Chains A and B, each alone.
Chain A
Amino acid sequence: MTLPAAQPLPEVLDALRERGLRRGVAPLPGEVVIPAVPTGHAALDAALATGGWPRGALAVLDAAPGHGATSLAHDSVAAAQAAGGLAAWVDLSGTFDAALAARRGVRLEWLLLIRPADGAEAIELAAWLIRSHLLDVLVLDLDGSAVPRWDRLAALLPRSDATVLLLAPPALRQAAGRVAGVRVQLERRAWLAVGRDLVGLRTAASVTRHRWALAGGTAELDLYFGEGRRIDALLPALAVPQAPALEQPEELPALTVLSA
């Protein structure tokens, strides 16, 4: 990457931050840096204003089923692993799909999968893992049967380096609200398609709560299924908003955006 030599330092730092390369750059005098784990999406990192999910915090992903919460969790785990981190996935719901996670860039050899017996045990196991100070991202994928003790997690998290991403039904997300450091609302705006195949979804992410920065940041995320990352790299300029997929000639596959 080349940067203009004549740019003043703050602008250079801003440019680095926009590219997700804030790590390793010393803070300016008076600048407060919140340690963070990348989300896997530069736009969301910028919207969060901390360069990613703040470490030592519970991040609640508010999304209805099919709006991209699990995909965003996959991307965050993959990004943390790419930065040299370790991740764990507490799979109380028993729905973790290893093949899908691998296709989305998650390195399974550095992912610990936890299968607790019930919700209380899920929180207890999460507490053990957080106390180990060895994890960067912990995904808590809970189902409706769990009645977690959020106060226990809240007491542990500030002293840890891990970010806990919560995937849970609405009632549990509501209960976790008071201990959440960050809340991000996800809403599907469009489907992404190549030819007749749906390859992903476009989701609007808005930060509705942030303990260390102003809430209200928004970002538009393209979350791809399966081999989406490769498609994203191959077809970045071919997105045609609102173009119906069926009108695309089949011999010229292109990424199209269908209204949700």
Chain B
Amino acid sequence: MRVLALVWPTLRGLEDAAPWEALLDRLDDLSPRVEALETGVALVDVTGLEPTHGSERRVAARAVALAGMDPVRAGIGDNRWLASLAARLAVPDRDARAACRILPAGEGRATLAPLPIGLLPAELATRDRFSLFGLTTMGQLAGLPRSAVSAQFGAEGERLQALARGEDPRPLTPRPRPERLATTARFEPPAAGTTEITLALRRAATALTDRLEGRYLAPGRAILTLLRDAAPPLSVVLSLPESSTDPDWIARLLLARLEASVRSPDTGTDEDEPAITALTLVLDRLAPPAARQLPAFEPQTGRWEELRWSMERVAARFGPGRLWRATVDRPAAARPELQARLVEIGHEPG
């Protein structure tokens, strides 16, 4: 097995997971086995990619290009430990934003032998004991009898010795690929009116949600792309207020957002809209349908939930800052304007 380790120092510790997830999605195009070790560190199984991509250095370059983010350190080795160590040891050239180090296949032990023992993932107390025994390089630890290491350092010592010999039995654990459903409807001749698009969109939404309902899943996001005649595609992305399999509402909200985007000055006006040649609907972020315990004895609750969906359409049509809810947080405040607070609907805390 050959493993490529990629480390983006600027991404480590990042709280917002969205750019990291998007980067991993792009790496999926290179290999079906991508493991996210932590935010900013990915392991990719690159076994057998040479015939299609060329040398291992080219494979690494391809991965870096797909990720589209730098600075990055890449390393390739026979297992996850060697690959991670290679990435750690990769030193960029003077002005380069990426660095790569490749440990030749089957030569892990020989490559590691001169390296300092401090590179092993050991606790401080264990390192101190290594130095007490005069062990300074990985080769010295690797050359000791396994039974002697086990007697002196226990199971932890055995594990570290295996690493020093370039052995790491831990397999790669690929992340599950995010599932997405897509369908395309083509218009021949191209559609010019909204009626055909509306009907096709509803049909597409119904077809996809029918497939999901049987599996007790619902989408959290819908992406509608319209391919236009002699014009760039028009795409709208809709995060649903809650995961739902109601095709009618998904279609309605998408159309409302589409109308709003067409009406915006960036995309011109309704009059010069080109004809639509195809429509693609993608549903992703699948999760069990939202189910909530509604407060008992409040007759308004059910209708308010329905109203929330209508409000999503209103927000898409008119833009943010229109729909508010008031709360009285400090009824005893001296000045009336300090007693109540307005919270925009859709942006409520918690």
Contacts and interface: CB of A to CB of B under 8 A. Distances in A.
Interface string A103-116: 00000111111111
A215 interface: no
A132 interface: yes
Contact of A115 (B307, B311, B321): B321
Contact of B324 (A85, A114, A125): A114
Contact of B314 (A84, A111, A125): A125
Contacts of B317: 128
B289 to A, nearest CB: 22
B231 interface: no
Nearest to A85: B300
A102 interface: yes
B336 interface: yes
Contacts of A240: none
Interface residues of A, number: 29
A108 B307 contact: no
B336 A134 contact: no
A18 interface: no
Given A110-B300, A125-B314, A101 B326 contact: yes
A97 interface: yes
A81 interface: yes
A97 B326 CA distance: 9
Contacts of B133: none
B256 to A, nearest CB: 10
Given A84-B299, A113-B342, A125 B328 contact: no
A112 B307 CA distance: 10
A99 B339 contact: yes
B306 A112 contact: no
Contact of A108 (B318, B322, B328): B328
A111 B323 CA distance: 11
A98 interface: yes
Contacts of B303: 86, 134
Nearest to A99: B339
B307 A132 contact: yes
Contacts of A116: 318, 322
Contacts of B318: 116, 121, 124-125
A221 B336 CA distance: 26
Interface in B298-350: 299-300, 303-304, 306-307, 310-311, 313-314, 317-318, 321-328, 331, 336, 339-342, 345
Contacts of A113: 323-326, 342
B314 to A, nearest CB: 6
Nearest to A131: B310
A260 interface: no
**Looking at B303, B313, B339, which has the most chain A CB atoms within 10 Å of its CB?**
B303
B323 A112 contact: yes
Contact of A128 (B314, B325, B326, B341): B314
Given A84-B299, A116-B322, A98 B327 contact: yes
A102 B340 contact: yes
**Looking at A97, A113, A124, A125, which has the most chain B CB atoms within 10 Å of its CB?**
A113
Given A84-B299, A108-B326, A125-B318, A97 B340 contact: yes
21 contacts: A85-B300, A86-B307, A97-B336, A97-B340, A98-B327, A98-B341, A99-B339, A100-B336, A102-B331, A102-B340, A108-B328, A111-B325, A112-B311, A113-B324, A113-B325, A115-B323, A117-B322, A125-B318, A128-B314, A132-B307, A132-B310
Closest 6 CB pairs of A and B: A84-B299, A98-B340, A98-B326, A99-B339, A113-B324, A99-B340
Given A110-B304, A112-B324, 20 more contacts: A86-B300, A86-B304, A96-B326, A97-B336, A98-B327, A98-B328, A98-B339, A99-B339, A99-B340, A109-B327, A110-B300, A112-B325, A113-B325, A115-B322, A115-B323, A125-B314, A128-B313, A134-B303, A134-B307, A135-B307
